Amino acid sequence: MLNFNYSIQTKIFFGKGKIDVLADNIKKYGSKVLLVYGGGSIKKSGLFDKITDIFNKNDIKFFELSGVEPNPRITSVRKGIEICRENNVDIILAVGGGSVIDCSKAIGAGYYYKGDAWDIVLDSRKITKVLPIATILTLAATGSEMDSGAVISNLETNQKLPTFNEGMAPKFSILDPTNTFSVPKNQTAAGTADIMSHIFEVYFSNTNEAYMQNRMAEALLKTCINYGQKAMADPTNYEARSNLMWTSSLAINGLLSYGKETEWSVHAMEHELSAFYDITHGVGLAILTPHWMEYALNDKTVDKFVEYGVNVWGLELSGDKYEIARNAIKRTREHFVKLGIPTSLKSIGINEEKLETMAKQATARGKIGSFKPLDANDVINIYRSSL
């Protein structure tokens, strides 16, 4: 196990009706809120009215930034910073999924930065201080509700990049699974694929001796496998929604990666797809993952894939190692098919044209991954096999 420093400071209020704690917890940070949300589904669901009622009853003043995009754009971040500065906002409340939360985090960090907000995405060392962030989660997927990262897109430069700062970790997040009852099937599927990908990125690692973390990762993968389809078939299944929601947070809050070398190459490859084609992140991940697995399978990594097949998919530990490993990959692919996620890049409008450009950009800072380090050529190969 590698050395690590553990610090997870976000408080979680989990369960039905937990919105009750909102006013008291906002007031710990002030009385002026920037309310950030997306396309308006929270108005349809009634959540918006609930929140603004609470604000009005508790003398909490709020300003709105709406229309945050699925791959949140730097232009939205800039707008949010302006509103915060004009109104001396005390705290940002993100109501939505990962995009809304990531946008809010970048706004919070950009608020204290004097230059253009894109600078702090390109170089997170420029972040010195962050406005307090809080969230009400409405989609189980990115885990942004409990981590300190944000991924922001720039359509002008075709870049989608992550940035990190401990101050961006939400002070508190309200996780009420009933707020995900209205999530449509395809987004439930993409969200589940996103959670699974976060786990894969830290599970497939050279740090074999982190036994406990590996078993926990398997526990979380099994949860996604057990509940993904159930949540799609029965959207108001509280058991399914609550397990997926809590798994989304624990998958990426550090718990599984502390003490391990991590991978994150599939995410790096997918960010390019989203940057150039603005596709759904979880869909891109689900398409790439089985192809990455096949590409990463070799004499050095085969044992890890066997472990994955046996412990996650219940395959029998007998016979040829490669057969078990390939079977595990097959099961992974079939699972994404069962979730109704497209299986090829072509089917979501991506063709050969920009593969080279994207591969170069994905590896612009050097090889990606450590379990199976990938250079630009490797990335092109994986993109091609995913076409």
Summarize as ranges the residues that interact with a second copy (CB under 8 A): 1-9, 11-18, 177, 209-212, 215-216, 218-220, 222-223, 226-227, 238-239, 242-243, 246-247, 250, 255, 258-259
Select 190 or 195, whichever has its Cβ closest to a second copy.
195
Q: Which is nearer to a second copy, 17 or 115 (CB)?
A: 17
- Of 62 and 164, nearer to a second copy (C-beta) is 164
CB of 13 to a second copy, least distance (A): 6
- Supply the minimum distance, in Å, between the C-beta of residue 4 and a second copy: 5
Q: What's the closest the beta carbon of residue 253 comes to a second copy, in angstroms?
A: 10
**CB closer to a second copy, 4 vs 320:** 4
Q: Closer to a second copy by CB, 34 or 220: give it.
A: 220
Instruction: Tell me how far, at minimum, the Cβ of 149 lies from a second copy, in Å.
Output: 19
- Minimum CB distance to a second copy smaller for 145 or for 272: 145
* Phi and psi, residue 227, nearest 5°: -115, -15
Q: CA angle at residue 199 from 165 to 123, to 5 degrees? A: 25
The span from the CA of 315 to the CA of 310, in Å, is: 4
Smallest distance from a second copy to CB 159, Å: 34
Distance CA 311, CA 211 (A): 12
| DSSP-assigned letters across all residues of 169-181 | S-SEEEE-GGGGT
Cβ-Cβ contacts under 8 Å for 243 (sequence gap 6 or more): 223, 226, 227
Distance between CA atoms of residues 142 and 332, nearest Å = 19
Provide the minimum distance between the beta carbon of 80 and a second copy in the complex, in angstroms, as a whole number. Answer: 27
Dihedral sign of CA atoms 264, 269, 291, 199 in order = positive
Integer CA distances (angstroms), 34 to 72, 165, 351, in order: 16, 20, 40
Q: Minimum Å distance from CB 299 to a second copy?
A: 23
Which 3 state secondary structure label does DSSP give 163? Answer: strand
Q: Toward a second copy, which CB reaches closer, 197 or 363?
A: 197
Nearest approach in angstroms of CB 275 to a second copy is 32
The tokens 């690590």 sit on which residue? 4
Structural contact between residues 266 and 260, judged by C-beta atoms closer than 8 angstroms: no
Contact at 8 Å (CB) between 40 and 182? no
Q: How far, in Å, CA of 71 to CA of 102, rounded? A: 9
For 196-213, b/e burial (b = at least 16 CB within 10 A) is bbbbbbbbbbbbeebeeb
Nearer to a second copy, 71 or 247 (CB): 247
First to last CA, the chain: 38
